[in-house]
Amino acid sequence: MGLFDFFKKKETAPEAQEALDKGLEKTKDGFFNKITKAVAGKSSVDDEVLDNLEEVLVTSDVGVSTTLKIIKRIEERVAKDKYLSTSELNFLLRDEIQLLLSENNSNDFRQFEYGEHKPYVIMVVGVNGVGKTTTIGKLAHKLKEANLKVVLGAADTFRAAAVDQLKLWGERVGVRVVAQPMGSDPASVAFDTLQSAVANGEDVVIIDTAGRLHNKIGLMNELGKIKQVMQKVVPNAPHEILLVLDASTGQNAFEQCKQFTEATDVNALAITKLDGTAKGGVVIGISDQFKIPVKYIGVGEKINDLQLFDKKEFVNSLFK
């Protein structure tokens, strides 16, 4: 069974949809309040409405370049249809955002099948405080529920709290954690984790890494060394480099994405803390600007509140 199939099977659609709707409430409220003000007193979509809409999207953390793309598309639709009422604007906006997301993430998570690699190695990157360790714990829980054997590697050896937190998650979800004393070489922890995973026949390895953007060269060297050492045990590891971003940081999330994608080959994104912010627009902007699939979104604090990102469901929920 692919991971996608498992997630869908385990989370009955109503439960997952309800959690998503609830998680996007703050973004939705802020977004629609702004749109309502943008079209107040107008019956048709004119230049002033488009200018106001542009401001709404930018202030909702969609990002300037993505906003300009969306506005251009809407302008083209308005020119083609000659007349569009402001009441149609929401439907039009929803369609254009969905189209944009589907164009950007051509390799959708539905295509991801776990079975090609054993162990399947995920290296998790991101700055401290974005919910990295929590995301690892919740993902490990999902995989374990799918009857996959999971091991975690505590390669963020610069913060004692990071290692302790990962151990707590390991105990909570019932998966093994490989750790060394604080200050140990992160690459050594990753090497040990992969060696023991191969010896124990484990299915998935998730490696936590230090979230320090002290400087890009230092980050690049450190992540590069971890990758090289892992490949001595599992050729082509890591199969997935998952960047965790906190939606509530808004434009900072774009900057972090830029730094990490320049430092290493990020091929998947997890966007967390959507439930605690009105800045859910970052999901749209980051997906568009970096052309990296958003695989997971965090929509709450419960252990099952890490969801697979479904573009259509996300946008539909936003426009409900």
Binding-site annotation, residues for GTP: 126-133, 208-212, 272-275
Q: What does residue 240 show for φ and ψ, rounded to 5 degrees?
A: -135, 130
Residue type, 26: K
Q: Which residues contact 17 (CB under 8 A, 6 or more apart)?
A: 313, 317
State the Cα–Cα distance between residues 55 and 228, nearest whole angstrom.
45
Residues contributing to the annotated binding site: 126-133, 208-212, 272-275
Peptide bond into 14 cis (omega under 30): no
Place of tokens 């949809």: 17
Residues β-bridged to residue 154: 208
Residue bearing tokens 């953007």 = 213
Write out the H or E segment, with its range, that includes residue 76. Answer: helix 64-81
DSSP lists the bridge partners of residue 270 as 244, 296
Structure tokens at 210: 């230090």
CA dist 64 and 61 (Å) reads 8
Q: Which helix (H) or strand (E) holds 96?
A: helix 89-104
